[in-house]
Amino acid sequence: MTSPFPFSAIVGQTAMKQAMILTAIDPGIGGVLVFGDRGTGKSTAVRALAALLPPIMAVEGCPVNSARVADCPEWAEIGSKKVISRPTPVIDLPLGATEDRVVGALDIERALTRGEKAFEPGLLARANRGYLYIDEVNLLEDHIVDLLLDVAQSGENVVEREGLSIRHPARFVLVGSGNPEEGELRPQLLDRFGLSVEVRSPTDIEERVEVIRRRDSFESDNATFMKRWRSADTKIRKRILTAREGLPKIVTPEPILRDCAELCMALGSDGLRGELTLLRTARALAAYEGDTTLTRDHLRNIAPSALSHRLRRDPLDEAGSGARVARTVADVLG
């Protein structure tokens, strides 16, 4: 298998790239929703990001990628005590995946042949400490969506079925992509994504040609191409790592908190998740930019992606909520 396309070599799509980097700095932001046309590089970006991220340290053979031996779930029966480094997991959740495959189920094979009650972990277990990528998330079956919501919120997967009673950590960043023309996403799930960005095909011929050129040299002369972009990728990785360290030290002035609240009130977003995400994302952005104090600029920068999907939506309003957010931001923050 070839290595994924380098993250830094993706042309344009700044909003999407920024959103993904911010969730890498602070996974608590809660996932990215990417809506846009086909062939705009949505899945390329997700895979590229995973390859960019520093590897995680995990116990060898642990199905939930535990960092310490003590954290390994009992049911996994791991013999090894070795902690190895492995790439950040990116798990694909295909449409039509059964509930069993997503949450895990009784290991039928062991149950029947050896008479043992064992748990066979599902995709949620494998995605722990990594990314769960759902392409065409808007076409996902409703009952799987419910499941995901529940787990994404609690960070824990609870399986109570077929005589099993298992719980394991499932903290992952949800990345969903889809094309809104093909179906809408339920508001409950929308709200659960931290950030949402809309991607469009580049409209500039030069930019499009550049995309084709890079992709072509990626495919025809892989080694040289990867080498050329390695340093840029490393630079981003270092910035992410520095930002992770700097994140707890970011100072949040009182007026900025007021701004957040005012912004969300003015937009009439439901609940308090809007404010919380706005603040968290702004802090991640400040850390990424190497600042130590949160400013209005940070808020202004990330407000559209943090809030546009949280507005009480008028299902018949086609202008898109991005414009509404931009207007309100201009009103409130000046």
Which residues are near other proteins by CB under 8 A? 1-2, 37-41, 43, 92, 94-101, 105-106, 108-109, 111-115, 135-136, 139, 141-143, 162-163, 180-184, 186, 201-203, 205, 208-209, 211-213, 215-216, 219-220, 315-316, 318
Residue 30 near residue 56 (C-beta atoms within 8 A): no
Of 136 and 297, nearer to other proteins (C-beta) is 136
d(CA 264, CA 294): 17
Rg, C-alpha atoms of the chain: 21
Q: Which of 47, 244, 273, 296 is catalytic?
A: 273
Least CB distance from residue 33 to other proteins, whole Å?
A: 16
DSSP-assigned states of every residue in 293-332: B--HHHHHHHHHHHHTTTB---TT--S-HHHHHHHHHHHH
Write phi, then psi, for 12 (nearest 5 degrees).
Answer: 65, -145
Least CB distance from residue 13 to other proteins, whole Å?
A: 11
Of 134 and 256, nearer to other proteins (C-beta) is 134
**221's tokens:** 């002369």
Residue 118 near residue 107 (C-beta atoms within 8 A): yes
Residue 294 near residue 256 (C-beta atoms within 8 A): yes
Least CB distance from residue 212 to other proteins, whole Å?
A: 4
Least CB distance from residue 280 to other proteins, whole Å?
A: 30
d(CA 307, CA 325): 7
Of 39 and 248, nearer to other proteins (C-beta) is 39
Of 28 and 202, nearer to other proteins (C-beta) is 202
Tell me whether residue 273 is one of the annotated catalytic residues. yes
Show which residues are catalytic: 273
